[in-house]
Amino acid sequence: MSQIQSWLVTGAAGCIGSNFVRYWCDQYPDNKVVVLDSLTYAGDRNSLADLETNPGFQFVQGDITDHHLVESLLREHQLNGIVNFAAESHVDRSISGPGTFISTNIVGTQRLLEAARQVWLGDGFSGDHRFHQVSTDEVYGSLGDDDPAFTEDHSYQPSSPYAASKASADHLVRSYQHTYGLHTSISNCSNNYGPYQFPEKLIGLTICNLVRGKALPIYGTGKNIRDWLFVDDHCRGIDRVLRSGEPGCTYNIGGGTELTNIELVERLCDLADRLIGDSKELQLRFPDSLAAKGVPSRSLIEFVSDRPGHDWRYAIDISRIERDLGYQPATQIDAGLSLTMRWYFDNEAWWQSVMDGSYQQWIDTQYSTGD
């Protein structure tokens, strides 16, 4: 069982990182957590606002590619764990502009690894250390309808520039363990959903469009399949890996809930119809939603052009983490979707502000760049 108590958590102004730091500070209030985030369009310091007064918490705005900054943070705060969430994470953006995916996801990960090597394997450092890389099931490629779910031994066959950049980062992490003996671990997770998700990803986007009465875009046939995991369950899985996973280990984390995109969006429509339909207060707050007008939200669904190179199906086998670390996802999909939708209802100011400007600009220029 690891005794590490002081952590650098990168990318924690984003969705999963902010949920993770909230979870971690709650579980381990005596730990020190320094957050490093460059606050790209996807990062919002407000996502951590409730943690700012926590005595063990500190926020630093900076880039993971800044090796000197990372090294000085590790030394100054005597941090002996890194959990790397920082990334460009949206597949569509990696198709329209792959450049930043290379610099953050690949170069950034290598710079973090190098800073960790300099400090933790250099003179004067004693004690345990751990570099944890938060990765994705997309590194394994795409499955057909009847293929078995991805295990950790599945070959890497990334399809999109995003997936390829995450695959490269995983290889670098393993190389630092193998070559230098840096203590590392990797978790490959399926699609997350929950509070603080930037509303460009399917669930956040669908909810924000539902309450504004806007079209719900479904790529291609809508029959592509994803395995959905509530973000708190991801955080608990990473916790198990950090505390009990062996150095050099890789674990899949997933929800065991495979849905086609159209099934998922239809569930969200029906949920909005129920929640808004039953509440006068929500009808007044979201007058543009179809649910407030008594019209079924499913009529907002619009099939649009497919994503280039769109992976067909992801499904993830979590036997290893279940067996070795006693992990099980706890949140059923309907409960998780309801919790998430209610969170977006209650936090309109948050999603309106993150959507303003940067998101609209990107939608306007989609597929017009190609660096």
Helix axes 161-180, 109-120, angle to 10 degrees: 20
Site string for ligand NAD, 58-77 (x = CB under 6 A): -----xxx------------
Answer whether 175's CB lies under 8 Å from 290's CB. no
* 38-46, 117-125, 270-278, 342-350 -> range binding ligand NAD (CB under 6 A): 38-46
Q: Which residues are catalytic?
A: 137-138, 162
- Report the residue closest to ligand DAU, judged by CB: 136
Determine how β-strand 258-260 pairs with β-strand 225-230: antiparallel
Rule CB under 6 A: say whether 224 interacts with ligand DAU.
yes
Angstrom distance (rounded) from CA 240 to CA 244: 6
Site string for ligand DAU, 283-322 (x = CB under 6 A): ------------------------x------x--------
Nearer to ligand DAU, 261 or 331 (CB): 261
Specify the residue, 8 or 202, whose C-beta has the smaller distance to ligand DAU: 202
- Please identify, using beta-carbon distances, which residue of 125 and 219 lies nearer to ligand NAD: 219
User: Which residue, 28 or 219, is less far from ligand DAU as judged by CB?
Assistant: 219
Residue 149 binding result from ligand DAU, ligand NAD, none, given CB thresholds of 5 to 8 Å by partner type: none
Number of Cα atoms under 13 Å in the Cβ half of residue 310: 15
Burial 246-280 (b: 16+ CB within 10 A, else e): eeebbbbbbbbbbbbbbebbbbbbebbbebbbeee
Q: Alpha-carbon distance 17 to 107, whole Å?
A: 20
- Contact (CB, 8 A) for 216 and 209: yes
The arrangement of strands across the sheet holding 249-253 comes to: 57-61, 32-37, 6-10, 81-84, 130-136, 184-189, 249-253
- Residue identified by tokens 């005794």 is 3
Residue ranges binding ligand DAU (CB under 6 A):
89-91, 136-138, 190-191, 201-202, 205, 217-219, 224, 226, 261, 307, 314
Residue ranges binding ligand NAD (CB under 6 A):
10-11, 13-17, 37-40, 42-43, 63-65, 85-87, 89, 104, 108, 134, 136, 166, 189, 191-192, 198
